[in-house]
Every structure is written in C-alpha cells, then in structure tokens.
Amino acid sequence: MIRAATISDIVPILRIDRDDPNAVRKALGMGAEGILVPHINTAEEVEEVVKAAKFQPRGERGIGTLCFSGSWETVRAADWLAWSHEEQLIGIMIEDHRAISHLDKIMAVKELDYTLLGPSDFRVDRLPGEVNHPKVMDALVKTVKAVDRYGKYVCIGVGYPLVENAKKFIDVACHMIELGHGVTILGTIWRRNGEEVRKLR
C-alpha cells in the first residue's frame, strides 16, 4: 500500500502501536511519510516518539539508507537524512481525557507536526454515548486552540453522513478530515444496496 501510495503521489501515513521504537523506525524506513501514535497523554510521551523518529542529535533512530525510503542506497545519506527530517511527519492521537490538561505542553514539542482527536475512545473514557457529545466537541475545540497556538495541525475522522459531519468539524477549524475507512465505506454501500435488493422481493 505504501508503494502504491508513493507512485500515486499520495502521502502514506501509518498508525503504529505506542511504546515500540522499532515500529517507528520500521514504518519510516519502509516508506511511510508520516506516523500516527495512539493514546498519547503527556509531553514526555511525545518526546519518546520523537526520539524514535529522529536521527541524532535530536533522536536515537539508526541511520541506514538500505530501505525503501532511502531509495535502496541510491541517494546520498546526507540527502536522505535531510529529507527524513523535513518531510516525514510525526503525529499523535489525543483520545484520553487526561491528555486535555496537558495540551499546551504536548503541542509545545517542536517536532510534533499534527494530532488526531480520537472521539470514540475519548467518549468511552468518560462519556458513553454519541461521538458528537458536547463534551467531546469541547475537547476537540480545546485541542484545535492548542494546535493553533503552536502552529500544528489537527485531524479528525468522520462517519456517515460524511459531508454533514465533515462540515461540523471544518466549522471548528479542523485542518484535516479522515473520510472513513475502506471497510466501513464498503460496508455502508453493501448495506444500502442490500436493502434495495431486499425491497425487490
């Protein structure tokens, strides 16, 4: 999928498990132009992600261009290091209630590029019910304001109805909108078509 995205001029971003520096290194080496790490609640946790994603002196990522993102050693190591530093994005997910009180410190980490608010986990954490619960929206607005203060970007995934929900989040200044997933989109299409076919009986 990374190779297909690359040749289609699409930026591939991989969501990886937290607390695994090797997953960060492997994702970026295999060609991901961005990573997304879930359940980040403090600036210290962001720093751990940065250390795994960046080369020395900022981080601890090992140098080796014998990989897809390093063009299999066909580019100068210095050029690859510069590209990795400037182009590969570091993103985190804000999806736990305790992260909200640490937003300013989290966003102040210089190398953090963007955050994605995970409203489903956030509402399970404290607010069983709909994703668009007012307190979830309040958490989103607080995240957007913190993001703006530090020149970062914020993303959120939207469910059906896609356009209606996308507008709601664009209105509160979200920069990026995730329009569902392949499985959920296909499932919705099949469900609707199945309902129409059943009516033919």
Would you say residue 28 has pLDDT above 60? yes
- At 149, list the tokens: 């203060």
Q: Note the Cα 13 to chain centre separation in Å.
A: 7
As a whole number of angstroms, the distance between CA 10 and CA 22 comes to 24
What backbone phi and psi angles, to 5 degrees, belong to 176? -130, 140
**Model confidence pLDDT, tens digit, residues 108-158:** 999 999 999 887 776 655 655 566 677 777 888 888 899 999 999 999 888
Question: What domain range is 24 assigned to?
Answer: 2-198
If you search the block for the tokens 């990026």, which residue do you land on? 176
Higher local confidence (pLDDT), 150 or 168: 150
Number of structural domains found in the chain: 1
* % the chain with pLDDT above 90: 63
The predicted structure's pLDDT at residue 12: 95
SS3 content of the chain, % helix, strand, coil (to 5): 50, 15, 35
The predicted structure's pLDDT at residue 127: 57
Mean pLDDT calculated for residue range 167-172 = 86
The predicted structure's pLDDT at residue 48: 96
**Model confidence pLDDT, tens digit, residues 10-22:** 999 999 998 899 9
Give the mean pLDDT of the chain.
89
Question: Nearest Cα to 68, choosing from 31, 14, 25?
Answer: 31
As a whole number of angstroms, the distance between CA 119 and CA 142 comes to 13
Half-sphere exposure of 52 (CA within 13 A, CB side): 25
Higher local confidence (pLDDT), 133 or 95: 95
The predicted structure's pLDDT at residue 172: 82
pTM of the model: 0.85
The predicted structure's pLDDT at residue 33: 96
- Whether residue 35 contacts residue 21, with contact meaning beta carbons closer than 8 Å, is answered with no
- Whether residue 91 contacts residue 113, with contact meaning beta carbons closer than 8 Å, is answered with yes
What backbone phi and psi angles, to 5 degrees, belong to 92? -130, 165
Domain harbouring 12, CATH code: 3.20.20.60
Mean pLDDT calculated for residue range 39-52 = 96
Q: Where are the alpha helices (DSSP H) in the chain?
A: 2-7, 21-29, 43-53, 77-87, 103-107, 119-126, 134-149, 162-171, 182-198
| Collapsed DSSP state (helix, strand, coil) of residue 159 | coil
The predicted structure's pLDDT at residue 141: 86
The predicted structure's pLDDT at residue 68: 94
Give 98's DSSP letter.
Answer: G
